Amino acid sequence: MKYALFLGCTIPVRAQNYEMSAREVAKKLGINFVDIPEFSCCGFPIKSSNAESSLIIAARNIAIAAKKGEKICTLCNACTSVLTEANKELSENKEIREKVNEELGKIGLEFKPDVEIKHFSRILYEDIGIDRISKKIKKDLSKLSISVHYGCHYLRPSELYDCFDDAENPSSVENLVAVTGAAVVDYKNKLECCGGAILGVEEDIALSMAKQKLDNVTANNVDALVTICPFCSIMYEDNQRKIENKFNVEYNLPVLYYPQVLGLALGIDQKKLGFRLNKVKAKAVLEKAGVEI
């Protein structure tokens, strides 16, 4: 199984632990990642300014992958939705495709329909599958209890994702956590947005949105919150201290990327999974799981 790994903006400079753990997990499960240096921003941050420019940027990335004959694996939820949406729109709508290709032609590229684009978690769930993963589990994480935040663009708009999961009642990432042996703990308002997209517009609202999630997750005394998107993690992990100070609360909730958790269960050295880079220290989680620190 081979995919071009699409990193986007945030992961290569702010979420290297996500990237490291995804690469390690992929290696263990027989997914071959190809790096394409020409991949840029997906186009999401431009959409509010100009949807057409955003579409062309997305198309540029897809066309680069197609030219090299690669499928795309994303790690960020926003990248997933913007690239998938562009892929669908341009594959189905000839008029827009021709317009976009006129721009792409100026830089020597052409969009061709139907390149496969999938989030890494979806690949693990659909293409590797829970059964195959369960056969590779080396370390039982049953001492841990974990809650999952899916993140909006992993599930919605659901019309983009062929109903691989139920957008109103999802289970795919929770099943992926459960296969490690960890107890999956449900919580109030699981589908609520992290607020990341409006952090720069009104910080107070965005942080209040993230606070609700942290309140609801910590109400159950779980060991960690698992995310699959760097934007969401910035809200819950990088901004956790800020939220604690602003609202005079204390969470100390480790926020882990899913491949970090799966990586532990697959027996990968925690150093290779980038735990050192987690801003809310996960030492207690590792100790509880019986992992060598």
Partner 1 sequence: MIDSKDLDPNFKYEVAAEMGGQNITRCFACGTCTAGCPVREIDDKYNPRKIIRMVILGMREKVLKSDFIWLCSTCYTCYDRCPQGVQLTAIMTALKNIAAREGYIHPSFREQARLVKNFGRLYEVEDFDNKKREKLGLPPVQKNFDDLTKILDDTLPKEVLK
Residue with Cβ nearer partner 1 (15 or 280): 15
The reply to whether 201 sits near partner 1 by the rule CB under 8 A is yes
Residue 252's contacts (CB-CB under 8 Å, 6 or more residues apart) are 280
Least distance CB 192 / partner 1 (angstroms): 5
Q: Which of 106, 135, 163, 169 is in the footprint of partner 1 by CB under 8 A?
A: 106
Task: Match 């308002």 to its residue by tokens.
Answer: 189
- CA-closest candidate to residue 118, choices 62, 63, 169: 62
Asked whether position 12 contacts partner 1 by CB under 8 A, the answer is yes
**Pattern 38-57, partner 1, x by CB under 8 A:** x-xx---xxxxxxxxx-xxx
Nearest residue (CB) to partner 1, 201 versus 293: 201
> Amino acid identity of 114?
D
CA distance 70 to 66: 6
**Helix and strand element counts for the chain (H, E):** 15, 8
Asked whether position 119 contacts partner 1 by CB under 8 A, the answer is no
Q: Which is nearer to partner 1, 95 or 292 (CB)?
A: 95
Which of 36-44, 68-76, 117-125, 133-141 is the region at the interface with partner 1 (rule: CB under 8 A)? 36-44
Q: Which is nearer to partner 1, 179 or 193 (CB)?
A: 193
Dist. CA 2–CA 248, nearest whole Å: 47
Helices (H), the chain: 11-14, 16-28, 44-47, 51-67, 77-92, 94-105, 120-122, 130-136, 152-155, 172-178, 203-218, 230-233, 240-247, 258-265, 283-288
**Interaction between residue 274 and partner 1 (CB under 8 A):** yes
Q: Is 13 exposed, middle or buried (0-12, 13-18, 19+ CB in 10 A)?
A: exposed
Task: Confirm if 148 and 275 have CB atoms less than 8 A apart.
Answer: no
Assess 196 for contact with partner 1 (CB under 8 A): yes
Q: Which of 16, 32, 142, 252 binds partner 1 (CB under 8 A)?
A: 16
Rounded Cα gap, residues 64 and 67, in angstroms:
5
| Piece of 136-144, 172-180, 191-199, 218-226 that binds partner 1 (CB under 8 A) | 191-199
- 152 binds partner 1 per the rule CB under 8 A: yes
Which residues contribute to the site for partner 1 (CB under 8 A)? Answer: 7-10, 12-14, 16, 19-20, 23, 35, 37-38, 40-41, 45-53, 55-57, 60, 81, 103, 106-107, 152-153, 156-158, 167-168, 191-193, 195-198, 200-202, 205-206, 208-209, 212, 272, 274
